[in-house]
Structure 1
Amino acid sequence: MSRAMRIPGTILLALLPLSAGVVAWTRGSVEVPVAPPEAVVDGLDPVALLADVSPQVEEIRGLRFKRPVAATVIDAAAARAYAAKRLRFLATAEDLDAEQSLYELLGLVPSGAEVVTEYLDVFDEQAGGFYDPTSKTFSLLGHMPRGVGPFLASHELTHALEDQYFDLDGRLAAARGNDDAIFALSAVHEGSATLVMASYAARAVAAGRLRSSDLEELQESDAGRGEKLQAMPPVLRRQLLGAYLLGATFLLRGRVGPIATAAYPASDVDLCYRDGPESSEQILHPEKYWVAAKRDRPRRIAVGDAGRRLGEGWRREGTGVLGELTLGCLVGAPTPSVADAGAFPGGGAWTNAAASGWGGDRWEVWAKGGRRVALLATFWDTKRDAEEFASALPVRPGLA
């Protein structure tokens, strides 16, 4: 496949963390009023940009915008503040602290790592614009190459369009407390927007609207290099990259490789919004969702009274679900690099035999003074699956 047809994978790097969609103001040829932007970025009017892109997004996605959404221009500090607010939308500060303690206890991140800061730094590096489902507003930043604006807009417009029909934040809020389910939902959101962007980009290539200089400028930018993203601990990088890359291949029912020539699967995406995947296992192994005879719903697992057996003075700080995607990192599953993004590797590039066969899990973090322990209960499809997982667990102090 030509280099040009791999462009969507490269542009993806500009759209990674906490992206949630953009807006639109036309229905076919009917003009819809739009709130004016606060400013113009490098001569690029966000209202004009989105009005130009929205009809093609509607055509690819097969839906029409119901109402206008405001557009604005913000600076990097405001964008970082938004990213921090989005982190708090699904988790309290206590939840985030407990999850970081869990990752440290399992050896998934270094002790004392500033996980939230790493997320925000990657957002600073990667974000060129975003759609906020709370305010229904598209915000544009000024550091992305001008020629990339339409591609970013096509991705974000998809979020805004689907938000008007399916309430993106409502779906995520319903899964609070289960990070694995939230990942599965996010994979549908981001996979859909990535496939629309890929179709939009393929049309731009065919029409000669994408200049090689635009791509080169993106590749040379901080977002294009993705150095902060690549430097993240694998467990964090796979959660960010996976929603986009695995989400796209999942919606294509497991097709792997560059996606620019793939037809947008509108009916399948609509199905996923009505009765979607519930776990990262289904995203990693699409047949466990798409093939009725193989559909594998996650089990609800309880740790039981193990925490209380720790003795007096211990209290539970947090609980949740890791899922195959995250547990895989514990037992040696590979994590594709930023350089692999354009190839859209399938689930086999993200998991391994030790993590496969996952049926459910539940973790708890308990604390007493300055001491913390993590409890993890897992359920597996077969005895062999359970044994493979147990035998692959790392041997190190503090992990029993």
Structure 2
Amino acid sequence: MLHPLLALVSVVLPAFAVAPQDAKAPAVDPAKQKALDDVAAAIQADIERLRGEQFKHSVPVKLADKATLIEYLSAREALETKPEREVFKEECAKLLGLVPATMDVKAATHAFLQSQVGGFYDPPTKTFYVMDSFDGELARVIMSHEFVHALDDQLYDLDGTAKKLGDDTDQLLAFWSVCEGSGTYTMTQWMIANAAKLDRESLMEFQKLGVAGMEDLPPMIWKPMLAAYTCGQTFVDKSTPKKKRAKKGEDAPATPADEKPAPTYVAQLARAFRAPPRSTEQVLHPEKYWDPEQKDEPKRITFDASAPPAGWRVLGEDTLGELGLALLTTPLAERKGIDGNDLMALATLTYTNKAAKGWGGDRLILLGRGDDRLLQLVTVWDTEADAKEFHAAVEGVLPLADAASSAPRLVPVRKSVATRAEDPQSVVIELAWARDPKSLPDAAVAGLAWSVK
């Protein structure tokens, strides 16, 4: 079951992405459009049966070409984020060594998406676009995923929820995982129900396309996308308890008379959309969201940025989360792409590690003074042992020399990984770079004060 899912990991865009108001689709022959509409109507009916919920209205379907997709990506980006926010995120990734110093992250991500996308759902116009290079059974599989996004959008206003989450990357990825987990869960049911009708050879070819290009990209670009689908599906699947099966020759276990009925998948999914997981930790460890006794909400870290050092200004803040810190603590030699044809490598991918487990919260802030940069990352952990494990791991991988080359004219002037004596469950990272090291003494780049709630 896992392999067909991986084939679709990057062929669809996040359902909650802001899109252009009515993308310009290429002209389509009326007969072809009629056939497309008929297939779409049939699959929407399938989704209603599988989910046990009804569409409020039918979802229009249009064909899109590459030019339409490029327009969509550009318009979405312009509406979804500000240029300075993208610069901030790319600078942080390079300073932490998560992407190569010379990489144009925006261009690399766009190229990757353009090679993967088979369709996209546009919340503002409530329209689904299928790429004109996909037809037949492949188009039907894509529809079985994207129409779930359309149903969820009609029921839960995905765009509105995403906007409320602001610029918190970790929280947004957790919500994206609910969206893609929902789509992948029901798509899998649809594929099983239609297995006899699906062309295996076409699906295998599609699988190669679905993960193409990852071998040339750092994990920071492709791994969160994979996690949203694979971990997201596991997250929604864990929403309902599984009935214990009787052993061969034994009667099924009796249900206690006073036991409350288990919540339905539909009810639990509604809960996840209305009160989304607040961290990737809760997605990676579903019991920390679904189980009341194990629920683990993240601690919120706040910087006192009211009076930054003289001449400095705040360039941005963000939260990396367990998934992000797992990427950060991955040894440099292992920060490689992955061959999409290597099914074993895909099936055994992990999205966290020992150093990132036990995450309690984190917050990153980047300060600038001209070309000079000060990056401060505060992390808090469930136990002192968790903090020590992260401390040791991050000290071993922080690529100060490589990070310095991300800004060719800058020289590293400070690297600090420390734990406060009064707060042994925290680890604070401070990194600084300057054009002229003599102009930036260590005392001038002390981090900001912070607090935990």
Fold equivalence (TM over 0.5): yes
TM-score category of the 2 structures, normalised to the smaller one: 0.7 to 0.9
Residue of structure 2 aligned with 1:214, choices 181, 194, 202: 202
Q: Quick one: which amino acid aligns to residue 295 of structure 2? A: R
Partner deviation per Cα, 1:276-321 (whole Å, 9 max, x = no partner): 211000011111111111101111102335982xx32211111111
Whole-Å separation in 2 of the counterparts to 1:343 and 1:61: 32
Does residue 273 of structure 1 match 2:273? yes
Q: Measured at CA, do residues 183 and 37 of structure 1 come closer, stay the same or move farther in structure 2, by a change above 3 Å? A: same
TM-score scaled by structure 1? 0.83
Q: How many residues align?
A: 366
Please name the residue that 1:61 is paired with. Answer: 51
Q: Measured at CA, do residues 196 and 147 of structure 1 come closer, stay the same or move farther in structure 2, by a change above 3 Å? A: same
Whole-Å separation in 1 of the counterparts to 2:72 and 2:151: 20
1:42 Cα deviation (Å)? 11
Partner deviation per Cα, 1:211-250 (whole Å, 9 max, x = no partner): 2232244245xx24x2323422111211111111110011
1:367 Cα deviation (Å)? 1.3
Partner deviation per Cα, 1:331-366 (whole Å, 9 max, x = no partner): 1187894457799869x9211111111111111111
Determine helix, strand or coil for the equivalent of 1:294.
Answer: coil
Q: Measured at CA, do residues 230 and 241 of structure 1 come closer, stay the same or move farther in structure 2, by a change above 3 Å? A: farther
Determine helix, strand or coil for the equivalent of 2:8.
Answer: helix
Determine helix, strand or coil for the equivalent of 1:73.
Answer: strand
Please name the residue that 1:300 is paired with. Answer: 300
Does residue 367 of structure 1 match 2:357? no
- Answer yes or no: is the 8 Å Cα contact 2:118–2:131 preserved in 1: yes
Residue of structure 2 aligned with 1:15, choices 8, 11, 20: 11
Q: Measured at CA, do residues 343 and 147 of structure 1 come closer, stay the same or move farther in structure 2, by a change above 3 Å? A: farther
Q: Quick one: which amino acid aligns to residue 173 of structure 1? A: K
Whole-Å separation in 2 of the counterparts to 1:6 and 1:342: 11
Residue of structure 1 aligned with 2:224, choices 239, 245, 253: 239
1:396 Cα deviation (Å)? 3.6
Segments of 5+ residues of structure 2 without an aligned counterpart are 18-24, 241-263, 401-411, 417-453
Residue of structure 1 aligned with 2:100, choices 92, 107, 110: 110
Determine helix, strand or coil for the equivalent of 2:197.
Answer: coil
Q: Measured at CA, do residues 119 and 341 of structure 1 come closer, stay the same or move farther in structure 2, by a change above 3 Å? A: farther
Higher alpha-carbon Rg? 2
Q: Quick one: which amino acid aligns to residue 269 of structure 1? A: L
TM-score scaled by structure 2? 0.74
Matches within 5 A, 1:74-153: 74-153=64-143
Give the stretch that moved more between structures: 275-284 or 83-92.
Answer: 83-92
- Answer yes or no: is the 8 Å Cα contact 1:303–1:376 preserved in 2: no
- Answer yes or no: is the 8 Å Cα contact 1:145–1:218 preserved in 2: no
Q: Measured at CA, do residues 90 and 300 of structure 1 come closer, stay the same or move farther in structure 2, by a change above 3 Å? A: farther
Please name the residue that 2:433 is paired with. Answer: none
Identity in percent = 32
- Answer yes or no: is the 8 Å Cα contact 1:37–1:71 preserved in 2: no
RMSD: 2.9
Q: Quick one: which amino acid aligns to residue 317 of structure 1? A: L
Q: Which has the higher contact order (CA 8 A, sep 6+)?
A: 1
Residue of structure 2 aligned with 1:253, choices 216, 238, 241: 238
- Answer yes or no: is the 8 Å Cα contact 2:60–2:127 preserved in 1: yes
Q: Measured at CA, do residues 294 and 51 of structure 1 come closer, stay the same or move farther in structure 2, by a change above 3 Å? A: same
Residue of structure 1 aligned with 2:153, choices 159, 163, 170: 163
Q: Measured at CA, do residues 108 and 281 of structure 1 come closer, stay the same or move farther in structure 2, by a change above 3 Å? A: same
Q: Quick one: which amino acid aligns to residue 15 of structure 1? A: V
Whole-Å separation in 2 of the counterparts to 1:355 and 1:340: 26
Q: Measured at CA, do residues 367 and 282 of structure 1 come closer, stay the same or move farther in structure 2, by a change above 3 Å? A: same
- Answer yes or no: is the 8 Å Cα contact 2:239–2:265 preserved in 1: no
1:395 Cα deviation (Å)? 4.3
Residue of structure 1 aligned with 2:310, choices 305, 309, 312: 312
Whole-Å separation in 2 of the counterparts to 1:106 and 1:113: 14
Q: Measured at CA, do residues 236 and 289 of structure 1 come closer, stay the same or move farther in structure 2, by a change above 3 Å? A: same
